[in-house]
Amino acid sequence: MKNQSSERALAAHHLIRALILGGIAFYIIHLNNGDRLTLYMAPRMIIYVKIAALALYAVAAVQLYHAVRAFTKQAEPACDCGHDHAASASPLKNTLVYGLFVVPLVVLFATSDTTIGSAMAANKGMNLSTSSAIKKQDTAAHPPEAAPTAANEAQPSPETAAPSSADKASPAANGDQPRFPSDPFTEMYAKFAEKLYDEPVIEVKEKDYIETLTTLDLYLDQFVGKQVSIGGFVYREEGMKASQFILGRFAVQCCTADALPYGVIADYPRASDYGKDEWIKITGVLGKTEYKGVTVMKLEVAKIQKIEAAADPYVYPDMDFGI
- CATH 2.40.50.140 residue spans of the chain: 123-139+180-315
pLDDT at 64 over 80: yes
> Per-residue confidence at 311, pLDDT binned at 50, 70, 90?
confident
- Which residue type does 305 have? Q
| Integer-rounded Cα radius of gyration of the chain | 30
Architecture of domain 123-139+180-315 in this structure: Beta Barrel (2.40)
Is the pLDDT confidence value at 207 over 60? Answer: yes
Q: What is the pLDDT of residues 132-180, one digit of tens each?
A: 767 655 555 555 444 444 444 444 444 444 444 334 333 444 456 889 9
- Least confident piece of the model among 112-121, 152-161, 176-185, 305-314: 152-161
- Out of 5-9, 75-79, 115-119, 240-244, which region has the weakest mean confidence (pLDDT)? 75-79
Residue 239 is predicted with a pLDDT of 85
Q: Give the pLDDT score at 77.
A: 57
Of 318 and 91, the structure prediction assigns the larger pLDDT to 318
Q: What is the pLDDT of residue 158?
A: 43
What average pLDDT score do residues 57-82 get? 80
Structure confidence at residue 78 (pLDDT) = 54
Query: 323 pLDDT band (50/70/90 cuts)?
Result: confident
Higher-pLDDT residue of 217, 114: 217
Q: What local confidence, expressed as pLDDT, does residue 286 receive?
A: 98
What is the reported pLDDT for 137? 56
Please give the share of the chain, as a percent, with pLDDT higher than 90.
58
Model pLDDT, residue 79: 55
pLDDT, average across residues 233-239: 93
Quote the pTM value. 0.74
pLDDT at 149: 45
Mean pLDDT of the chain: 84
Q: What is the pLDDT of residue 160?
A: 42
Average pLDDT over residues 177-200: 92
Q: Name the band, by pLDDT with cuts 50, 70 and 90, for residue 80.
A: low
| Secondary structure, 3-state, the chain | CHHHHHHHHHHHHHHHHHHHHHHHHHHHHHHHHCCCHHHCECHHHHHHHHHHHHHHHHHHHHHHHHHHHHHCCCCCCCCCCCCCCCCCCCHHHHHHHHHHHHHHHHHHHHCCCCCCCHHHHHHHCCECCCCHHHHHHHHHHCCCCCCCCHHHHHCCCHHHHCCCHHHHHCCCCCCCCCCCCCCCCCHHHHHHHHHHHCCCEEECCCCCHHHHHHHHHHCHHHHCCCEEEEEEEEECCCCCCCCEEEEEEEECCCEHHHCEEEEEEEECCCHHHCCCCCEEEEEEEEEEEEECCEEEEEEEEEEEEECCCCCCCEECCCCCCCC
